[in-house]
């Protein structure tokens, strides 16, 4: 009886250790991280769209100064990145050249 109880205890302990070391980290990487990314994109998308519209109305020379002005109140890093074709798929490039905005929300780019 004692031996069976010891074997059962060892099995339970090894199962718990396996779950803690293998299952939970994989669950976090596969489920929680993508869900948090999507949540951030949804929460930020409205502000980014509004900012994109405001920046598009300004001449290119004034956009940097405008970002400097609102940077402290915005809540996350703002910068204007040069258009690099290599960072976009062909379909995204076509959309951007036609004047579309945010073809890839996952990068939170303004598309201007």
- pLDDT tens profile 47-61: 778 888 888 899 988
106 pLDDT band, cuts 50/70/90, is very low
CA 7 to mean position of chain CA atoms: 46
Identify whether the C-beta of residue 93 lies closer than 8 Å to the C-beta of residue 100: no
User: What string of DSSP letters covers 32-43?
Assistant: IHHHHHHHHHHH
Q: Give the orientation angle of helix 60-74 with respect to helix 33-57, to 10 degrees.
A: 140
User: What string of DSSP letters covers 62-106?
Assistant: HHHHHHHHHHHHHSS---PPP--GGGS-HHHHHHHHTT---S-GG
- pLDDT tens profile 24-47: 777 777 777 777 888 877 777 787
């Amino acid at each position: 009886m004692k031996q069976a109880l010891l074997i059962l205890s060892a099995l339970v302990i090894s199962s718990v250790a396996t779950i803690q070391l293998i299952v939970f980290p994989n669950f976090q990487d596969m489920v929680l991280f993508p869900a948090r990314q999507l949540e951030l994109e949804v929460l930020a998308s409205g502000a980014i769209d509004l900012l994109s519209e405001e920046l598009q109305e300004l001449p290119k020379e004034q956009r940097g100064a405008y970002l400097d002005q609102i940077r402290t109140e915005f809540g996350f890093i703002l910068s204007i990145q040069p258009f690099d074709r290599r960072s976009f798929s062909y379909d995204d490039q076509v959309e951007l050249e036609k004047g579309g905005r945010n073809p890839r929300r996952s990068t939170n780019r303004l598309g201007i």
